A and B are shown apart, each in its own frame.
Chain A
């Protein structure tokens, strides 16, 4: 069964510094996708970044990058130059199955607090 593990319940980072949020996954499928979502206190789920299992380059979206280490089954999110607005819950998720058309399973989340 697929599984997503986020081992950091809470993290603190100083404004303007970089922070890494950890995510490990477990799957026997060769084709899967890894996602990160942000959930601010208002509650909506905001898509941040996606990495396909066959993508050789790490995904980047603005200040977000995904450090994908396939052999270690890790997909850490790196946020550069943290801003106060980055304070939120961050969820790692995985979608597996044929052409990644399967279900999306989430980790337990990491609460990030950015200090001024």
Chain B
């Protein structure tokens, strides 16, 4: 079975540009998470969805960040405009319901560099 698929794997962009990160969760999973990892702050939960509905977006750092999940098989995390301090690894993860197992599986991450 395919795991969580993220794209792009690596992106280098200039400050002020829009960045869109994409995620395809594991088929049948109804929870989707977006995390950001930096050396300074570790792994931070940005937002998570259940059945395509955002449940908790308290970790989204500011209005420049937005996330959508238009259907069960696709989610985007958008940064507009991007800033150098947004440079990080962004992980998408998914899981099923408690009755089908709680294990949360991660994608390989999107490595973002803003110059």
Q: Is A50 an interface residue (CB 8 A)?
A: yes
Q: Is A88 an interface residue (CB 8 A)?
A: no
Instruction: Please classify the interface of chain A as helix (H, G, I), strand (E, B), loop, or mixed, using the class held by over half of its residues.
Output: strand
Determine the chain B residues whose CB is within 8 A of the CB of A108 once the complex forms. 42
Comparing B65-73, B76-84, B105-113, the segment that makes contact with chain A is B105-113
CB B96 to nearest CB in A, in angstroms, measures 10
A35 to B106 Cα, complex, angstroms: 13
Q: How many residues on the B side are at the interface (Cβ–Cβ under 8 A)? A: 23
Determine the chain A residues whose CB is within 8 A of the CB of B89 once the complex forms. 43
A37 to B109 Cα, complex, angstroms: 15
Comparing A18-26, A62-70, A73-81, A95-103, the segment that makes contact with chain B is A95-103
Determine the chain A residues whose CB is within 8 A of the CB of B103 once the complex forms. 35, 47, 50
Q: Is A45 an interface residue (CB 8 A)?
A: yes
Q: Which one of B42, B98, B109 lies within 8 Å of A101 (CB-CB)?
A: B98
Determine the chain B residues whose CB is within 8 A of the CB of A95 once the complex forms. 102, 104
Give B41-67 as 1s and 0s: 1 = Cβ < 8 Å from A's Cβ atoms. 011010010100001100000000000
- B43 to A101, Cβ gap below 8 A? no
Determine the chain B residues whose CB is within 8 A of the CB of A90 once the complex forms. none
Determine the chain B residues whose CB is within 8 A of the CB of A106 once the complex forms. 42-43
Q: Which one of B45, B50, B102, B109 lies within 8 Å of A43 (CB-CB)?
A: B109
Q: Which one of B33, B91, B104 lies within 8 Å of A35 (CB-CB)?
A: B104
- B56 to A33, Cβ gap below 8 A? no
Residues of chain A whose beta carbon lies under 8 Å from any beta carbon of chain B: 33, 35, 37, 43-45, 47, 50, 52, 91, 95, 99-101, 103-106, 108-109
For the complex of A and B, list the 10 residue pairs with the smallest distance between their C-beta atoms, beginning with the closest: A99-B98, A45-B106, A106-B43, A100-B102, A33-B102, A44-B108, A108-B42, A100-B98, A104-B104, A103-B45
Residues of chain B whose beta carbon lies under 8 Å from any beta carbon of chain A: 31, 33, 42-43, 45, 48, 50, 55-56, 89, 91, 93, 97-99, 102-106, 108-109, 111
